[in-house]
Structure 1
């Protein structure tokens, strides 16, 4: 398992996770990203919600007036 402090836990699959309500989430993928930030809409799987949204990058200047 690999942990990224800014992202998900990467786990070699297949994976079964027992959720708080007792249901089991399963993935047969060879590598699974498990959400650790609790922002994912697809918990327990990571949906990249941990990534910064809405970058404050100004548009390039028009070089041809």
Structure 2
């Protein structure tokens, strides 16, 4: 009788217990809301951290506080 193939996601599920899971909420024409604390790895190799209970990450790249959203997306909508 052949043995069953191991579940390749089983170890991932074990490492990420329910209290380790972060909720991410995408908003149309707005920031990405992430339950904190968070550590954001930037393109230039830098790391931005926040221990807040929820953070808004800029998705339009207009923020002066990038990667954090400063509501710059409200001033001008993206052309689509």
- For normalisation by structure 1, the TM-score amounts to 0.77
Give the gaps of 5 or more residues in structure 1: 54-65
Greater relative CO (CA pairs within 8 A, separation 6+):
1
Give the gaps of 5 or more residues in structure 2: 1-23
Question: Alignment length, in residue pairs?
Answer: 53
In the TM superposition, residue 5 of structure 1 has moved relative to its aligned partner by 1.1
CA RMSD, 1 decimal: 1.1
Q: Which has the higher helix share?
A: 2
Structure 1 stretches of 4+ moved >3 Å: none
- For normalisation by structure 2, the TM-score amounts to 0.63
